[in-house]
Structure 1
């Protein structure tokens, strides 16, 4: 029997949009012949059409599930904006997040798709995805996935800009956590606290601010210049660090102070925007 290579499986997956395991099975049944594998898939009702190589999944939905001391966020992508509004697309995206949150053994999209759906008895998540592909004739892909084992809250914005925020926290004020998640979506901090900033980046900013302060008035003593610089660095921290930012709903206090006043400790956050795939697959900021 011909050995089935990972490259052959990947190539068939790119043409059909089907899970890796389905493609491997088809190639095994067809002794490695791609055309016969496609025919086998069609004959077995797995796929009715072949994916063109240029069909990009640039739209989608970010679904979040938080319940029972765990949480998950999953990016589910498609080819066109109208499909993101379909009830079945939304239901499957939400089911993906729900199942992923409940099963810590899942590490890949293929493993997630192999799990039973909670909305269609007797079918896997992959079955539902394949059924949508066969009826709607669009390609669907799972993008980024992240999971929290612990208290989590979130916010997803699935309108003009599609984004999602998952927050890991300690405390019992879910409304405050949602407010913080909404703040993250609006202000896009890069790290949790100023201590998480790259020291080299901070030193570079400090040097720039010191040079600017000295140009303003070189007669000032160096210790005064240094105090001025540290004060101005607070604005830099507020641009980058979540806990240092003025809270959008009450700019007179920082997010860190708002969290503290509401009995919440933010441990980490993840913020995704569909379309920023050039960024790392999981943009988590941890403290």
Structure 2
């Protein structure tokens, strides 16, 4: 049957899909617009499943603040190009908003939330089909006020931090600490938070290095202790020199201000995700071999 331009336009407005995809869906359903929408939804799911094995290590960090709490999420894409797409960014903002509104227990529960436009999982799959890349809602966190100011910092789209202080009203301090954490990436809050196995592993490395010096045992022990203290200072927030005043540590700064860090979180896009390295020639060769087989 003949499909009118007005019908294609209506379907495009309702789905946001490309004109050609809308026309094909309407032709396949004899002009039934509701059936066409359902077909496009199912096709989108199928396309999303085909992309599931790809690696999505790019993306964006989204942050939403509301009612003395902050939600921060990482949503991944395959390329920086899609990470800058307006619809992708809008999806990330929606994820953060739903996280702070519903406080889901985990990502699976977050994906199951329906905001009236389908579940978040359905919306994710639909956008995958539209933009042609794998997208993952990787992680989220909701941080509550802990008695003092709560602050956030986002460096571009790739790094986001949240800091909640225990006391005071120094919002600038909280903001400065959020920036410090973005720049210095402390792995733990203080030395007491460093797990015993991490300490012992580093101590064994330092011991092996010190023994090669040929110095007496008592000197070696002091060398190990000194180097371990330095290592713990480097990986902990409290031990690090404050970025805006390297002559003072974060711990001293907090003490002078009469407050403490109740909680901090730092997300960096793609951290811990192993990116697939490939080139076009290799992909063509692999495809040719698979076809030949």
Whether these two folds match at TM > 0.5 is yes
Deviation of 1:246 after TM superposition, in Å, equals 0.5
Question: Which stretch shows the higher mean deviation, 202-211 or 86-95?
Answer: 202-211
For normalisation by structure 2, the TM-score amounts to 0.64
1:173 matched to 2:173:
no
Alpha-carbon separation, structure 2, partners of 1:214 and 1:110 = 51
CA contact (8 A) 2:64 2:93 kept: yes
Residue 140 of structure 2 aligns to a residue in which SS? strand
Q: Structure 2 residue aligned with 1:194, among 177, 183, 191?
A: 191
Residue pairs, 1:146-185, within 5 angstroms: 146-151=141-146, 152-159=150-157, 162-171=158-167, 172-185=169-182
CA contact (8 A) 2:47 2:128 kept: no
1:242 matched to 2:241:
no
Deviation of 1:97 after TM superposition, in Å, equals 1.1
Q: Relative to structure 1, is the Cα distance of residues 225 and 55 closer, same or farther in structure 2, using a 3 angstrom cutoff?
A: closer
Deviation of 1:213 after TM superposition, in Å, equals 9.1
Alpha-carbon separation, structure 2, partners of 1:211 and 1:58 = 36
For normalisation by structure 1, the TM-score amounts to 0.66
Aligned to 2:117: 123
Q: Relative to structure 1, is the Cα distance of residues 174 and 125 closer, same or farther in structure 2, using a 3 angstrom cutoff?
A: farther
Q: Structure 2 residue aligned with 1:47, among 43, 50, 64?
A: 43
Q: Relative to structure 1, is the Cα distance of residues 262 and 94 closer, same or farther in structure 2, using a 3 angstrom cutoff?
A: farther
CA contact (8 A) 1:66 1:153 kept: no
Between Structure 1 and Structure 2, whose CA radius of gyration is higher? Answer: 2
Say which structure is richer in helix. 2
Alpha-carbon separation, structure 2, partners of 1:136 and 1:243 = 43
Aligned to 1:101: 100
Q: Show structure 2 runs of 5+ residues with no match.
A: 1-34, 275-293
Aligned to 2:21: none
Alpha-carbon separation, structure 2, partners of 1:227 and 1:102 = 52
Deviation of 1:245 after TM superposition, in Å, equals 0.5
Deviation >6 Å, runs of 4+: 224-228
Deviation of 1:263 after TM superposition, in Å, equals 4.4
Q: Show structure 1 runs of 5+ residues with no match.
A: 1-38, 280-287
Deviation of 1:211 after TM superposition, in Å, equals 7.8
